[in-house]
Amino acid sequence: MPVGTQATVKGILPRDLIGDLDAKIILGNTYHLYLRPVHETVRRQGGLHGFMAWPRAILTDSGGFQVFSLNSLRKITEEGVLFHSHLNGDPHMFTPESTIDVQMALGSDVMMVLDECIPHPATHEEARVSTDRTVRWARRAMDHFAHHDDGNRAVFPIVQGSMYGDLRRSCAEELVKLDARGYAIGGLSVGEPRPLSLEMTEITTPLLPADRPRYVMGVGMPEELPEYVARGVDMMECVLPSRNARNGCLFTRAGKISIKQNQYKDDARAVDETCGCYTCQNFSRSYLRHLFQAGEMTFSTLATLHNLRRYLDIMREIRQAILIGKYPEYLRACRAGQ
């Protein structure tokens, strides 16, 4: 899923998300949209779909991740979490119920429950206390949603448990009882080694219903996508392709390119000669390097178009391999770097 934090995928117009990338779903960040332009403004403008002219699906996070990553002065109680706006310091409270209300105002198709996302490393006791609270919050969020459920949207509970397999398992077992329309696995990509993220995923996915979407939040590198899918994951989201693009890091079938390097100064080749994106079909590495060096925002647009296309192409390859029953072969080829 391309990330559209503030009601826009940075540098990409909605028509290009459809026409160039055929993205089926994008992610919006509840925390950011709640603070600015304020969710009630979005509601009055037709929800996120109308506001940003995006006709396809939208998933929103609960805001929990940003509350924990952007706030040093937050205060957690059983009721919810008190935090201060990173924009102007104003105090705000998120509860399991209020974050569902905010996401309803945004008109989200797939909403997330409020969870506590703790840093890595955490002690087993810290993780247990936090995970238990996340489960209680998930129950409250689902109860609250039940009063508004028109059958047209979903709320996903989020499995936490830090890097402890027993906590991941018990959390998943409790959340499955909520009979949700899909499930997320959170608390990864918080500084742990990458093999550990995969291990936690591998422990968790078999406990979640196979006939409902399983979504790992905040991953990953291009070569990791097939690994997550191999472990039963259906959905992923990460700022990596778009943020790296803006920083000049471009993903190709043959690996990463740092476009600012001098070796690309007169390189007339496309970023990835096997890629069908607008950027690769029209512009050279030499041109892209020039735009990057000159600080031109067109660079960010062209680079993001390419990196998102690369990610979505990988997911299309994965779906195709699964459909024709060749996923093990596809995975082996990926691992061999082919």
Binding site residues, its own copies, CB under 8 A = 6-15, 32, 36-37, 41, 44-45, 51-53, 265-266, 268, 278, 282-284, 286-287, 289-291, 293-294, 296-298, 300-302
Least CB distance to its own copies at residue 167 (A)? 37
Q: Please give the full DSSP string across 274-318, using - where no structure is assigned.
A: T--SHHHHH--HHHHHHHHHTT-HHHHHHHHHHHHHHHHHHHHHH
| CB-nearer residue toward its own copies: 156 or 292 | 292
| CB-nearer residue toward its own copies: 274 or 282 | 282
| CB-nearer residue toward its own copies: 36 or 75 | 36
Least CB distance to its own copies at residue 284 (A)? 6
| CB-nearer residue toward its own copies: 38 or 196 | 38
Least CB distance to its own copies at residue 44 (A)? 6
* 250 Cβ contact partners less than 8 Å away, ≥ 6 residues apart: 244, 256, 257, 258, 259, 271, 272, 288, 303, 306, 307
| CB-nearer residue toward its own copies: 39 or 168 | 39
Least CB distance to its own copies at residue 83 (A)? 19
Q: Please give the full DSSP string across 105-136, using - where no structure is assigned.
A: HHT-SEEE-------SS--HHHHHHHHHHHHH
Question: By the 8 A CB rule, do 2 and 23 touch?
Answer: yes
* 28 Cβ contact partners less than 8 Å away, ≥ 6 residues apart: 4, 5, 7, 48, 58, 59, 60, 61, 106, 108
Angle between helices 297-323 and 327-335 (to 10 degrees): 140
| CB-nearer residue toward its own copies: 22 or 296 | 296
Least CB distance to its own copies at residue 301 (A)? 7
Least CB distance to its own copies at residue 295 (A)? 9
